[in-house]
Amino acid sequence: MILGAQCEGSDVGMLEFEVRFVHVALAFLAALASQLALKQWAIPRVAELAENKTYLIEQKVPWLFDGRTHGYSAADAKMHLDALGAKGREYYARWYIPVYDLIFPITLFVFGILFCIWMTQPRVGFAVNMALHWRLVILLVPLALFVFDILENVSVLMMLKGYPRQGATLVAAASTFTQAKWVSAYAGAVLAVMLLLASAFRWVNT
C-alpha cells in the first residue's frame, strides 16, 4: 500500500506542473518549423541528388523510407537504395537522418506531450475531465510515435551504412518500425481530434 501510494504521488507530480497555451504554441511552432525544413530543404535535396529519379517517380516510390507507410521488402529496399545513388545515400545518412529527421521527432514529441497535458489539466476550464491514470495513458501515444520514429531512423541509417549488404532482418525491422510509426501518427491525430471535440463540448455546456 505504501509503495502504491508513493507511485501514485510520483505520477501526480509528473502532471502537476502547469502548462499554458504559450508553451503549447511555441512547441507547435517549433515542430512546424522543423517539418517545413524537411519539406523545403531536406527532401528536395535528396530528390536532387538521387541517381535514378525515373525509377522513384514512375514507381511512385517516396524519396525517403519514412514515406513508405505500408512498409517495404528487402528487394524494395535494395532498389530504393540503388536508385538514390552514392550522393543521395551519403546526404541521407550524413544530413537528413542525424539532423533534420532528429530535430523534427523531438519537437513533435515535446508538442504532443505538452498538448495532452494542457488539454487535460484539471485547473483549466475547457480541459477534458480525465482521471490521472488516463492522463498518463494518453501520453503513450506521442511517446510511441517518438520511439518508433527514432528506431526507424537508426535502422535506415544502418541500411545506408551497410549498403549494398543490408540484411533482410534489418530491412524487416526498419519496415516494421516505419509502419508502427505511421500507426502511432494516425492514433495521435485521432487522439488530438477527440480531445479537441471533448473540450469544445465541455466549453459549450459550461
Q: Are 159 and 166 in contact (CB under 8 A)?
A: yes
Split at pLDDT 50, 70, 90, the class of 77 is: very high
pLDDT at 206: 67
Cβ atoms of residues 62 and 54 within 8 Å: no
Long-range contacts of 123-131 (CB under 8 A, 24+ apart): 123/18, 125/203, 125/206, 126/199, 126/200, 126/202, 126/203, 127/199, 127/202, 128/195, 128/198, 128/199, 128/202, 129/202
User: Higher model confidence: residue 115 or residue 14?
Assistant: 115
pLDDT of 14: 54
Q: What are the distances in angstroms from CA 48 to CA 22, 61, 99?
A: 38, 15, 18
- Specify the pTM: 0.90
Per-residue confidence band for 8, with pLDDT thresholds at 50, 70 and 90 = very low
Question: How confident is the model at residue 15, as a pLDDT?
Answer: 61
CB contact set of 171 (below 8 Å; sequence gap of 6+): 72, 73, 74, 77, 159
Q: How much is the mean pLDDT over the chain?
A: 91
First-residue to last-residue Cα distance in the chain: 38
Residues contacting residue 58 through CB under 8 Å, at least 6 positions apart:
none
Task: Report the C-alpha gap between 55 and 46 in whole angstroms.
Answer: 14
Among the residue ranges 18-32, 78-92, 124-138, the one predicted with the least confidence is 124-138
